[in-house]
Amino acid sequence: MEKIRTGLILESIEAADAAKVSHSTYAQTKKHDACTVTTVKLDDDKDAGDFGREKGTYITVEFERVYRITDKDFESIVTVLADIIRSLMPKEHGRILIAGIGNRQITPDSLGPKCVDRIIVTRGFEKVMPELISNGTYSSVSAICSNVFGVTGIESAELIGGIAKMLDPSLIIVIDALATTSVSRLCRTVQISDTSLTPGGGVDNARKRISPDNLDTPVISIGMPTVIDVSTILSCAGCDKSETEKQLGQYMDSMIAMPSRIDSATDTAARLIAFAVNKALHRDMSTEDILRFLY
């Protein structure tokens, strides 16, 4: 099966179907008020190899728009995302480390850092109000932004692994921007999984995996596609491979596109994801409570 640039399991399955690759994996879809949720449980070794994925649970949430989302739809989507995150968390958990991956200076890669800006950090409660942690009102949360290897010379997996050795978290939540092969899913899809995350994997700049095996800690990966291959867009527009190569020339495998309103899209997506994480980790927390903490 031809390799495609995507971080979404649904698109890997669609590519396998298009290439007539037999597999036993199927998706279950459920419609909610403001979004559609599709669950894929990948537990077959052959399917995992064909899709280029790890075995695990992948849950995709798709919504109609992200630029001008209504307050009602925002609350509905956040609630769905929070329930999904909670369902993938270990039943008993201690400290939680949240890592936003990406380069804040490059807008389509800024999703992770923007999410961390909106995370409610509560590890300090362990000393000043330990009863709020012990009774389950709040989780003990730490959060970091991990810039890209090209800026720091440090792999995100190395940074997170080093911090995890000191904090000994029971769960690591990693947030990053993804790539897609579908314009309809661009900045309108959130994927949550209990598998590893490979920074830069969607744009052929794969770094070290942030993996439960490498870190000896459960990992929840969260991402939204913010870029798409230009060659994919041309293909969808009816160009065959030779015409696409003619149009793109030396940039055939290296040109990507993003929406013109990518700043607004990443801002809103960061709020959706971060508010969902906050609600999943801290008991009975409302949007108003989150806003009071943050602002």
Residue 204 pLDDT level (bands cut at 50, 70, 90): low
pLDDT of 189 reads 96
Nearest of 64, 53, 65 to residue 8 by alpha carbon = 53
CA distances 294 to 17, 77, 224, 287, Å, are 45, 20, 23, 11
Report how far residue 69's alpha carbon sits from residue 232's, in angstroms, rounded to the nearest whole number.
27
Instruction: Supply the mean pLDDT for the chain.
Output: 89
In this predicted model, which residue has the larger pLDDT, 185 or 68? 185
Cβ atoms within 10 Å, residue 187: 27
pLDDT of 152 reads 83
In this predicted model, which residue has the larger pLDDT, 5 or 22? 22
Residue 206 in this model has a pLDDT that exceeds 60: no
> Which segment of 29-33, 61-65, 188-192 scores lowest on mean pLDDT?
61-65
Residue 202 in this model has a pLDDT that exceeds 70: no
Nearest of 140, 150, 100, 97 to residue 269 by alpha carbon = 100
pLDDT tens for 242-273 read: 888 888 888 887 788 999 899 999 999 999 99
- Sorted by where each begins, the domain ranges of the chain are 92-294
Question: Is there a contact between 33 and 22 (Cβ–Cβ < 8 Å)?
Answer: no
Residue 198 pLDDT level (bands cut at 50, 70, 90): confident
Report how far residue 173's alpha carbon sits from residue 218's, in angstroms, rounded to the nearest whole number.
9
Two tokens, residue 268: 């809103």
Instruction: Output the 3-class SS for 226-270.
Output: EEEEHHHHHHHCCCCHHHHHHHHHHHCCCCEECCCCHHHHHHHHH
Report how far residue 177's alpha carbon sits from residue 151's, in angstroms, rounded to the nearest whole number.
17
CA distances 254 to 5, 28, 65, 249, 257, Å, are 11, 34, 27, 10, 10
DSSP code per residue over 27-93? EEEEE-SSEEEEEEEE--HHHHHHHT--SEEEEEEEES-STT--HHHHHHHHHHHHHHHHHHS-SS-
Which CATH code fits 92-294?
Answer: 3.40.50.1450
